[in-house]
Amino acid sequence: MASIAHQPQIVPQPVTTTKPATGIWSWLTTIDHKRIGLMYGISAFFFLLLGGFEALLIRAQLAQPENDLISAQRYNELFTMHGTTMIFLALMPLTSGFFNYVMPLQIGARDVAFPRLNAFSLWVFIFGAIIINISWFFNEAPNQGWYGYAPLTGTAWSPGRNVDFWMIGIQVLGVASMAASFNFVVTIFNLRAPGMKMMRLPIFTWSTLIVSIMIIFAFPAITVALLLLSFDRYAGTGFYEVAAGGDPLLWQHLFWVFGHPEVYILILPAFGIISEIIPVFSRKPLFGYSVMVYATIAIAFLGFGVWAHHMFTVGLGPTANAVFAGATMLIGIPTGVKIFNWVGTMFRGSLRFTTAMLFAVGLVSQFVIGGLSGVMHAVVPVDAQQNDTYFIIAHFHYVLFGGTVFGLLAGIYFWGPKAFGKMFDERIGKWHFWLTFVGFNLTFFPMHFLGLAGMPRRYFTYAEDSGWGPWNAVVSFGALVLGFSFLVFLYNIYKMVRHGEPAGDDPWDAATLEWAISSPPPAYNFAVIPTVTHRDQLWWDKYGDEHGHAHVQNDDVPKTAEIQREANAAHPHVHLPNPSYFPLLAAAGLGTFALGMLFMNPAITIGLLHLPVLVIVGVALLIFSVYAWAFEPAG
Ligand code: HEM
Ligand SMILES: [Cu+2]
């Protein structure tokens, strides 16, 4: 046997990584931010469709008065799951998909700071989503509304596991969001390419940074709220029980300290996406870039000081109401600045209405409607009329669908060609947009009238003589059109993937670094880490100014795209960290532990201690995989 001296040294072989690995195992063990981004996006899109289907069932029940298509109990489950799914399983992870895929490319990095932690956050999200949705199979879907007010969530009023599936599922999702947010913040501060100063960061990357910081500050509030609820439900404490000296309003304060920043966590990424798209299709840099950055920071900051506007009708008193009313109106200012700057960017621009641009401009127009009704809610006596009516439902769908979903769809049409290397069919894209635009307004605008006419939210039916029948029929028809628009979109995705025209590196003649590399990008992103000298670097490279106007060719400056192309042609040896399955295993451990809190038997009982087997297995798997992960050679 050869002696130790002759043991061949195991030297990590530089990886020739042009062609990413294939096969399901390569996806289960990937730590590549692009693949993780795609998996976030695809799974979240599935939940967007599921949430949309739940909404269609709601609208089928409400299409006519005194309908008995769906029982009251099932209806409670549908709107709770619809709201929870749309917010936590669709819009947030879709945003994470964009953060993951686009941000590292925009800052000129090869990946995020902690690739395995990134994979862990994805799998924890998947397990959280499974835990919430398997409740349907046990006929115990959450039924307490997406913000789960106490004391309804206590065991006295909700003795079944409906609330537990929601409570534990959201806790698990919180772990995924926190892990991802720390990763993005560290990445943006530490992995920027040389010369990528903070005020040269693309605005979408700024949104990623600010939203990640908001998540880090907001999620602990709901984590604590849910923890106290778990004690009330499992250990019989009374944090939210008046009889036990607790206070149900404690839940409302804790929930909305998280909940209102949450709505900005949902909308700011969409604002970031359209702030990338509008300049490219106006051929002008973003109007007031720095002011846009400061406005985003102002919204994020003020967003933590308005939570009690959700509680104007619980009796906090005139002083508190006045303060929160004022703070809420204040937030309208930085939001207005953004709308002004988007219009300023388009003003005298040479506009090109691609599908991405249509959805971006669609967002601006629809969000203004949602914003205006938001300012109306800030007036306490007006809110007393509108709270818990369909006016509120109209308001937040204009901001969350007209805002966030329009923005995310714009982002898919804009960066889809980069990720898949193929172009969408623009003609079908325009059909998709107009069906969405018409369907959306048919669905949600009449809800303002229904709300002002007194129709309450969360009621599974209404009386014939209420007079709400005709508008509800229009709303439900609109929801059908909206549903159909998603089918058109699905067809366009299929057509792009199967028959799309090759996209090339820079199909939109854009300004930021992700367009300097191939579509899809190589596993290592940049063959050479780019050097940044200007904001909108590629416009500077191509046109010698940052205005994207094709008037002069700047030949003496090495162009980022060319440098990448030449380096790629030389088949660079770029060292990348190894794939790993420990993040997946660790997430499975956490998921199994969480399931153990729902399925308490079989269990091992030691004295008073009742230890569910799933809890033991989950904790053991979690500890083992985190240990192995810590000592696994990164590559
Ligand atoms: C796809 C089209 C959609 C339709 C037709 C729709 C329809 C509805 C309706 C009718 C309700 C009120 C149920 C009631 O109170 O009786 C509702 C509630 C809700 N929707 Fe949507 N929605 C859609 C998309 C979205 C999106 C994209 C979001 C994004 C976050 C969302 C979030 C919510 C929330 C949070 C609630 C409140 C649930 C609760 O009361 O607990 N919806 N939706
Ligand atoms: Cu709010």
Is the per-residue pLDDT at 326 higher than 90? Answer: yes
pLDDT 10s digits, 457-484: 999 999 999 999 999 999 999 999 999 9
Residue 475 Cα: closest atom of ligand 1 = 5
* DSSP 8-state class, residue 200: G
* 423-438 average pLDDT score: 98
Q: Is the CB of 80 under 6 A from ligand 1?
A: yes
Q: Which pLDDT value is given to residue 610?
A: 82
Where does 244-354 have alpha helices with state H? 248-280, 289-302, 318-346
Task: Pick the closest to residue 486 from 417, 411, 431, 542 (CA basis).
Answer: 431
DSSP helix/strand/coil, 635: coil
∠ CA(64), CA(65), CA(70), 5° rounding?
75
Residue 15 has pLDDT above 50, yes or no: no
What would the DSSP string read from start to end of 46-74? HHHHHHHHHHHHHHHHHTSTT--SS-HHH
Q: What pLDDT score does 323 carry?
A: 97
> What SS3 class is residue 175?
helix
Ligand 2 being an ion, which residues bring their Cβ within 5 A of it? Answer: 260
- Could you give the percent of the chain with pLDDT greater than 90? 88
Asked if 410 and 363 touch (Cβ cutoff 8 Å), the reply is: yes
Average confidence (pLDDT) over 26-49 = 97
What DSSP character marks residue 534? S
Assign 22 a pLDDT band (cuts: 50, 70, 90).
confident
Q: Is-contact 522 568, C-beta < 8 A? A: yes
Cα separations in angstroms, 239 against 222, 249, 603: 14, 10, 28
| Contact in structure between 413 and 478 (CB atoms under 8 Å) | no
Q: Is the pLDDT of residue 9 over 60?
A: no
- Is 450 a residue whose pLDDT tops 50? yes
Using the predicted structure, report yes or no on whether residue 350 has a pLDDT greater than 90.
yes
Check whether 554 has a pLDDT greater than 80: no
Average pLDDT estimate for 57-75:
98
* Helices and strands in the chain, H and E counts: 20, 2
Give the ligand at the shortest distance from the Cα of 400. 1
Q: Please report, for residues 178, 214, 237, 299, the alpha-carbon distance to residue 302 in angstroms, rounded to integers and kept in the order given.
A: 21, 11, 34, 5
CB–CB of 179/122 below 8 Å? no
Contact 510, 543 (CB under 8 A): no
Q: Is the CB of 87 under 6 A from ligand 1?
A: yes
pLDDT of residue 605: 87
Spatial separation of the C-alpha atoms in residues 307 and 293, rounded to whole Å: 23
**397 pocket-lining for ligand 1 (C-beta < 6 Å):** yes
Taking the CA of residue 405 as reference, the ligand 1 atom at the shortest distance is 27
Residue nearest to atom 35 of ligand 1 (CA): 83
Measured in Å, residue 304 CA sits from the centre of ligand 2 at 9
Q: With 80 as the cut, is the pLDDT of residue 591 above it?
A: yes
Angle between helices 248-280 and 289-302 (to 10 degrees): 170
Quote the ligand 2 centre to 297 CA distance (angstroms): 17
- Residue 609 above 90 pLDDT? no
**Residue-wise pLDDT tens digits, 369-399:** 999 999 999 999 999 999 999 999 999 999 9
Comparing 14-23, 94-103, 125-134, the range with the smallest average pLDDT is 14-23
Distances (CA, A) of 387 to 24, 448, 581: 48, 12, 48
Q: What share of the chain is helix, strand, coil (3-state, %, to 5)?
A: 65, 0, 30
575 touches ligand 1 (CB under 6 Å): no
Tokens encoding 294: 């400061």
How many angstroms separate the CA atoms of 549 and 543, rounded?
7
Q: How far apart are CA 591 and CA 126, in angstroms?
A: 9
The pLDDT of 260-286, averaged and rounded, is 98
The residues near 36 (Cβ < 8 Å, ≥ 6 apart) are: 30, 100, 118, 119, 122
Mean pLDDT across the chain: 94
pLDDT above 70 as % of the chain:
94
Question: Atom of ligand 1 at shortest distance to CA of 486?
Answer: 1
Ligand 1 neighbour 310 (Cβ under 6 A): no
- pLDDT, average across residues 217-228: 98
Burial of 452 from C-beta contacts in 10 A (0-12 / 13-18 / 19+): middle
Q: Of 47, 69, 73, 79, which is best to mutate to test ligand 1, by the most ligand atoms within 8 angstroms of its C-beta?
A: 79
| Whether the Cβ atoms of residue 406 and residue 435 lie closer than 8 Å to each other | no
Average of per-residue pLDDT across 250-260:
98
Average pLDDT for 221-245: 97
HSE (CB half, 13 Å, CA atoms) of 21? 14
311 CB contacts (<8 Å, ≥6 apart)?
Answer: 249, 252, 253, 256
Q: Is cis: bond before 577, omega within 30 of 0?
A: no
Mean pLDDT check: name the lowest of 132-141, 203-212, 408-417, 572-581.
572-581
| Ligand nearest the Cα atom of residue 328 | 2
Q: Which two tokens stand for residue 433?
A: 């947009």
Q: How far is the CA of 110 from the centre of ligand 2 (A)?
A: 37
The interaxial angle of helices 248-280 and 406-420, nearest 10 deg, is 50
Phi-psi region of 240 (alpha: psi -120 to 50; beta: other; left: phi over 0): alpha
Pocket test for ligand 1, best of 82, 162, 256, 406 (most atoms within 8 A of CB): 82
Structure tokens at 292: 């846009």
The pLDDT value recorded for residue 333 is 97
Work out the burial of residue 162: count CB atoms within 10 Å of its CB; fewer than 13 is exposed, 13-18 middle, 19 or more buried: buried
278-289: pLDDT as tens digits: 999 999 999 999
| Separation in Å, CA 54 to CA 78, 255, 627 | 6, 24, 41
Between residues 4 and 141, which one has the greater pLDDT? 141
Alpha-carbon distance 590 to 626, whole Å?
11
Residue 47 φ then ψ, to 5°: -70, -30
Measure CA 586 to chain center: 23
Say whether pLDDT at 547 is over 60: no
- 612 beta partners: 603
Token representation of residue 192: 């920027």
Contact indicator for 332, 376 with CB cutoff of 8 Å? no
